Structure 1
Amino acid sequence: MLIDSEGQASIAVVAHGADDLRVEEIPAPVAQSHEAIINVAFGGVCGSDLHYWKHGAVGESILRAPMVLGHEVVGTVSHAASDGSGPTEGTRVAVHPASWEPSDIRFPTDRPNLSAGISYLGSAARFPHCEGAFASQVALKTSMLRPLPDGLDLRTAALIEPASVAWHAVSRSGEVAGKRVLVIGSGPIGTLAIAVANRAGAAEIVAVDVHDFPLSIATAVGATRTLRADDTDAIASVDADIVIESSGNHRGLASAIRGATRGGTVVMVGLLPSGEQPVLASLAITRELTLVGSFRFNDEIDLVIDALADGSLNIDSVVTHSFPVTDALHAFKVAADPSTSGKVLLEFSQ
């Protein structure tokens, strides 16, 4: 059974190619029986959205057709799924952007984020592309929906998806309580990782960035000390048990390796460009560092929602700007300047 949202057009943010971002009407969403229609309230602009806008690609995921962007969204169910699954009409929800299909490529069954059969909202990794959710109304599988607790502000809830990425990254480092943590790159993922590490009981959290503004956000969410990225000697002397590398460039990774204590762990959550990258391999070997990759997340989204509900996760300061969807191009330009912005939100409906 298919339903639509009473024939209304949906206002969406669509990437047509490099430097070609448009706000335009798209057809009203049509839901299959296992899907609900969501009135989107807020969407967070992610680095991948910026890459599709500026370059028409994210790594090897290249736009081959216009695609609705966005995977960090929250909203309200306007039409519940006709098969009876999922939340009822009027329920406020966060969205887990991933869905899975069978794959013959092996992966650990307890780590579905590594499945080759995964698809992600707003991704050009496959063709036809997986349309995103930067639209006033979207039809989504009920398996992707997470009801929000009463009292949780939708503006804060818009951070649930990137906070889940950060939670997964911190959890990849092992026990955090009582440890010294170094975070390289204090953009939204880095500052959210600081907030998660602070909640987990880190004894000390040192934040690094090239700009002062993101370091002020880092302090607000739990960093005990900040360093500029060009102060390489100070970074090397941190001697951190755990390093979260969220800058996504090889210089940041070099700082992460230098700043780790002997026998320490470096979690690489910042996605470096595809292809070969320079790495301080000899230092990592002689210090017996553990280098760990971190990619997206699994069920951490439920832990994030619980932590926001009980007030133990302090992340409000990460949101710095909010713009109507009609000003999406300006919002993307603001989000592309990390010297003046943290997480930038698009406003759809509330």
Structure 2
Amino acid sequence: MLGCVIHGQGDLRVDELPAPSPGPGQALVAVRYGGVCGSDLHYWRHGGVGDFRLREPMVLGHEVVGTVVSYGDGASASGPVPGTAVAVHPATPCGLCPECVDGRPNVCRDTRYLGSAARMPHVQGGFAAQVVVPAGQLRALPAGLDLKRAALAEPLSVALHAVRRAGAVAGRHVLVTGAGPIGCLVVAAAKAAGAARVTVTDLLPRALSYAASAGADAVVRADDPADPSWPAEVDVAIEASGVAAGLDTCLRLVRRGGVVVQLGMLPPGQSPFAGNLVVSREIELRGAFRFDGEFDDAIALLAVEPGFDALVSAVVPLGEAESAFALAADRSRSCKVLLDFGA
């Protein structure tokens, strides 16, 4: 079978891989679509994500949907029957560490996450024609939920978790810095949670147009201080750009006693930080990392909201993976790009 493998910085290949077979407790899934994530792009462009560096070739991808093919011993009793359309939850937390015991498996210190170089050997990802995963990670899709839209389940889960980390947003003004795919999904998640107004900033007009389609009430060019759409202050700010300037904007615009959620992964090492504002304004700065039960909520939301389709800007055959990555990296031309493993 074919898979999308990163061998090092700038070295992305479509390789022939051995076909997997499920072991005890595992399921074999025929992958149809996989969403190209910002972390996949970081592995391709920089050879790593944050402090996680490539040390061996790795199959990329953790935003995958497809159909169940078969099960290993002891796995079929609780899983969807073969032929069922499913989304794959990409995380396998250890269940034993203090974080898991405390009910926070998304920050498990010994988790396995599809397509991640956080541990050695790396956890191979889902960008392949077939993938084996623990059967418990499968989620049957509701009838009528198209696989293309369902491919947004993983990034939407990230957005839902970030909004929940912000606390109650119903009736409040939310600022989102960064209108990439995750930022746009944060917009949709905030509106679904009852936010009264959502303002989004970005440097690119095309990105802001996607944010508007996701439900933003106002969009602002981040490099235009004279734009009348800039709010005087907001109740909650969610930083989704992954750059220090975005965090600075959040800290300066959130009201005294407000909440800032850092969702975007900042570059490795030290970043400039307006820490005095956190002190003098008693701002609550919270991190948001991945998700847990939000995966099921994301699938349910996708099943009833067709508007998410507008965020899927391109579907590219696996054989043109490098072109797909280049398109996904160009936010002036795309939002969410999917690889098609069934084309």
Q: Shorter-chain TM-score category?
A: over 0.9
Partner of 2:140: 147
State how far apart, in whole Å, the 2-side matches of 1:346 and 1:106 are. 34
Q: Deviations over 1:269-306 (max 9, x none)?
A: 00112222111111222121111100000110111111
For 1:301, give the aligned amino acid. F
- Pick one of 252, 259, 279 that aligns with 2:253: 259
Q: What is the aligned-residue RMSD (CA, Å)?
A: 1.6
Partner of 1:7: none
1:94 aligns with 2:92: no
1:297 aligns with 2:291: yes
C-alpha displacement of 1:236: 6.5
Q: Which runs of 4+ in 1 moved over 6 A?
A: none
Q: Please identify, of 96-105 and 281-290, the stretch whose mean Cα deviation from structure 2 is larger.
A: 96-105
Instruction: Report 1:1-350 matches (<5 A).
Output: 10-83=1-74, 84=76, 85-101=78-94, 109-232=102-225, 237-311=231-305, 314-349=307-342
C-alpha displacement of 1:101: 2.3
State how far apart, in whole Å, the 2-side matches of 1:339 and 1:108 are. 43
C-alpha displacement of 1:61: 1.4
Structure 1 unmatched runs, 5+:
1-9
Structure 2 unmatched runs, 5+:
none
Q: Please identify, of 299-308 and 158-167, the stretch whose mean Cα deviation from structure 2 is larger.
A: 299-308
State how far apart, in whole Å, the 2-side matches of 1:13 and 1:230 are. 36
State how far apart, in whole Å, the 1-side matches of 2:101 and 2:25 are. 27
For 2:299, give the aligned amino acid. I
For 1:14, give the aligned amino acid. V
For 2:177, give the aligned amino acid. I
**CA 1:73–1:104 in 2, change beyond 3 Å: closer, same or farther?**
closer
State how far apart, in whole Å, the 2-side matches of 1:108 and 1:229 are. 41
State how far apart, in whole Å, the 1-side matches of 2:128 and 2:100 are. 33
For 1:29, give the aligned amino acid. P
For 1:242, give the aligned amino acid. V
For 2:245, give the aligned amino acid. R
SS of corresponding position for 1:291 = strand
**CA 1:160–1:13 in 2, change beyond 3 Å: closer, same or farther?**
same
State how far apart, in whole Å, the 1-side matches of 2:313 and 2:182 are. 14
State how far apart, in whole Å, the 2-side matches of 1:314 and 1:256 are. 27
C-alpha displacement of 1:54: 1.3
C-alpha displacement of 1:171: 0.7
**CA 1:90–1:154 in 2, change beyond 3 Å: closer, same or farther?**
same
Q: Deviations over 1:12-43 (max 9, x none)?
A: 00001111100011000121121111110100
* TM-score between the two structures when normalised by the length of structure 1: 0.93
For 1:188, give the aligned amino acid. P
SS of corresponding position for 2:168 = coil
State how far apart, in whole Å, the 2-side matches of 1:104 and 1:348 are. 36
State how far apart, in whole Å, the 1-side matches of 2:328 and 2:63 are. 14
Contact kept, 8 Å, 1:80 with 1:87, in 2: the verdict is no
SS of corresponding position for 1:110 = coil
For 1:94, give the aligned amino acid. A
